[in-house]
Structure 1
Amino acid sequence: MEKNRWKPKEYLFVDGYNIINTWESLRSLSELSLEAARNELIEIMAEYQHYTGIIVIIVFDAHMVKSNSGKKEKIKGVDVVYTKENETADHFIERTLDSIGRIKKVRVATSDWMEQQVVLGRGGTRISSRELEVEIQNYKKLIKNKSKKKKQINDLIIGRLDEETIKKLEKWRNSEE
């Protein structure tokens, strides 16, 4: 049997605007375009989800938008939630934690201290926006190092081939394109 089959799913709820307002790169981008900052956060979290296997849910406040009924969509494999009128991202996350927090492994990324305390009380764990940023940077370094090592191995293998074999492989590769 596959080893990961029995591993419980892990969820990471991301308080979207909290992260955008605390990560310098996203805050700077949001001053130019909030939509661009949201898209960049979604891109970063999609990559994170891909490499970690953790299910990411990004929640954006839309509680100040009149007659807003909320919206959920999947973008690049990441669940993106825009809350409904009179519902903050915190409320959405808390409500969801009430239903799954003690059954599933759930982390919430926010630097809102009050929200962190509520998360802990409802069975989740918290990660600050800064801790998440560092975790993502560490994953990127790990991936870069793995790619670099793989390239070195490939270069070493190709270095062992004679010139005639390399030419044949290049000719074969070019005919495939």
Structure 2
Amino acid sequence: MLKNKYNPKKILIVDGYNVINAWNSLKKKSEEDLQVARETLVSYIQEYSKIKGYKAYIVFDAYNVKGCDEKIEDHHGITVVFTRENQTADSYIEKFISGLSKYDEVAVATSDYAEQQIALGKGCSRISSRELIYDLKKFKDDIRKNNKGYIKEYNTMNRLENRIDSDIFDKLEKIRRKK
């Protein structure tokens, strides 16, 4: 007898403006140009979700925007949601997580205490905005450290440019490029 196996998904849901306002550099960007701050957050979440294996959703509310309809966009694998008029990101996220399977691994990134409690009550894990920022910075630092090791290794290899005079190397390089 064959049983259908459900493949649980790893899902990250980010309260966009909550994270932007908790992150000093993004908050400063948002004061100058909100669109740039949103795009920067999306690019950070793209990196983070790839590293952690999440399918990511970023929710921006349009609570005070008159006549705004819900808009869902795909940004290179990240789903960005702009809620409709008079809908908060909190209510959208609550409805969204209610529709997911109980087997999915869902994390909600927000510093809103009430939203965290709702997420926990629905079986999701919560990531505070500060934790998310810390994790992102840590992963970026780790990647930089790893890349420095590769650069150092490349520079110490037994390569021609490391063994001959730089003038001779430049002349050989010019000859090579002419052909």
Q: TM-score, normalised by structure 2?
A: 0.82
**Deviation readout 1:23-47 (Å, 9 max, x if unpaired):** 1111111111111111111121122
Q: Distance in 2 between matches of 1:76 and 1:69?
A: 22
The residue aligned with 2:29 is: 29
How do residues 1-177 of structure 1 correspond to structure 2 at under 5 angstroms? 8-100=8-100, 102-159=102-159, 163=164, 171=173
- 1:83-111 deviation digits (Å, cap 9, x = unpaired): 11222111111111111152210100000
Contact residue 12 and residue 54 of structure 1 kept, 8 A? yes
What CA distance in whole angstroms lies between the structure 1 residues aligned with 2:122 and 2:50?
Answer: 27
Are the equivalent residues in 2 in contact too, given 1:23–1:133 (CA < 8 A)? yes
The DSSP-based 3-state class of the residue aligned with 2:31 is helix
Larger Rg: 2
Residue correspondences, number: 167
Q: Deviations 1:55-97 (Å, cap 9, x if unpaired)? A: 2111000132223221000113211000112221111111111
Higher helix fraction: Structure 1 or Structure 2? Answer: 1
- Alignment partner, residue 3 of structure 2: none
Partner Cα separation in structure 2 for residue 155 and residue 51 of structure 1: 28
User: Which consecutive segments of 4 or more residues in structure 1 shift more than 6 A?
Assistant: none
Would the alpha carbon gap of residues 101 and 86 (structure 1) be closer, same or farther in structure 2, given more than 3 Å must change? farther
Q: CA RMSD in A?
A: 2.7
The answer on whether the counterparts of 2:8 and 2:103 sit within 8 Å (CA) in structure 1 is no
Distance 2:143 2:37 in 1: 24
- The 3-state SS of whatever aligns with 1:157 is coil
Identity %: 39
Deviating more after overlay: 142-151 vs 126-135: 142-151
The range that moved more, 132-141 or 92-101, is 92-101
